């Protein structure tokens, strides 16, 4: 079994639990997600199955898009609706002030991740430290916000946005920082990931649907890596490639490697020789 699943993760389920559910349904041990989605959030969670679970580094560094609802007037320790309230305020900013603050974040920014996050601090998960009552100091990370658009304003205290950003961007942190810029407090009360790279929420499937479709729900790694350049090796190199013998070649960057029309995986050229970094060929 080898491929990817565009799973629609429901709310109140961790990404780890979603992976466990996929393992159970498919009866496959080699399963891993391609970028954590918070328990409160729903939407696109890419799951790698079999050899395709090795594609973590390629799948996580893709653009992502979200629909997010901010509620002004209070904050929580987790920065979302699942947390404990840590502060309240009557200072509710105007939508123009909120939009101004949001637009100022478009571009490359330095963002401090939430204390309740999967980031490592001295070898430990930040959320484990926070839950234990320990002080958590997280360093700012460079992220990219490509675009922000206001969808609607359900009430004076709420605003719903679509946000396109790089991997590693925390929407909870955007909510926190926008409120701070406006002299207020805010909490993320809804989050849906609508896309991750080439995978869209429109084509995602639920766990119930996966129970019915099983292997038929798998998407080939070739589809997921369609934007990666291709190198086609000469037919006579097939056996050398199959048995891991040295192949002289010189090209730049990561490429999808083919021989005799068969997909072998992701490779690069190291010191003038082929290096298959991620072997994906079905046996």
Residues labelled catalytic: 38
**Helix, strand, coil % over all residues of the chain, rounded to 5:** 25, 40, 35
User: Helix, strand, or coil here: 137?
Assistant: coil
Tokens of 74: 């209070």
Q: Residue 195 and residue 244: Cα distance in Å, rounded?
A: 36
Say which residue the tokens 């639920």 belong to: 206
Residue whose tokens read 């009430």:
155
Rounded CA separation 253/244 (Å): 20
Q: How far is 131 from 78, CA to CA, in rounded Å?
A: 10
Of the candidates 250, 258, 262, 192, the one whose C-alpha atom is nearest the C-alpha of residue 9 is 192
């Amino acid at each position: 079994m080898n491929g990817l699943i565009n799973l629609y993760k429901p709310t109140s389920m961790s990404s780890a639990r979603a992976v466990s559910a996929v393992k159970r349904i498919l009866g496959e041990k080699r399963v891993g997600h391609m970028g954590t989605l918070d328990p409160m959030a729903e939407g696109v969670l890419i799951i790698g199955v079999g050899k395709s679970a090795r594609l973590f580094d390629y799948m996580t560094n893709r653009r992502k898009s979200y629909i997010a609802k901010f509620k002004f007037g209070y904050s929580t320790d987790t920065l979302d609706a699942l947390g404990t309230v840590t502060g309240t305020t009557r200072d509710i900013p105007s939508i123009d002030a909120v939009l101004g603050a949001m637009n100022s974040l478009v571009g490359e920014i330095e963002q401090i991740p939430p204390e309740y996050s999967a980031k490592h601090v001295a070898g430990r998960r930040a959320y484990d430290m926070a839950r234990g009552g320990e002080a958590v100091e997280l360093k700012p990370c460079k992220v990219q916000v490509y675009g922000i658009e206001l969808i609607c304003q359900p009430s004076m205290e709420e605003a719903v946005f679509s946000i396109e950003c790089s991997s590693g961007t925390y929407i909870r942190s955007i909510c926190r920082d926008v409120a701070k810029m406006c002299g207020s407090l805010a909490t993320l009360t809804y989050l849906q990931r609508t896309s991750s790279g080439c995978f869209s929420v429109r084509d995602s499937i639920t766990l119930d649907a996966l129970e019915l479709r099983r292997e038929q729900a798998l998407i080939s790694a070739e589809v997921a890596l369609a934007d990666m350049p291709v190198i086609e090796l000469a037919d006579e190199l097939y056996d050398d490639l199959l048995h891991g013998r040295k192949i002289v070649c010189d090209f730049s960057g990561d490429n999808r490697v083919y021989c005799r029309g068969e997909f072998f995986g992701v490779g690069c050229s190291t010191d003038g020789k082929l290096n298959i970094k991620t072997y994906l060929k079905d046996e």
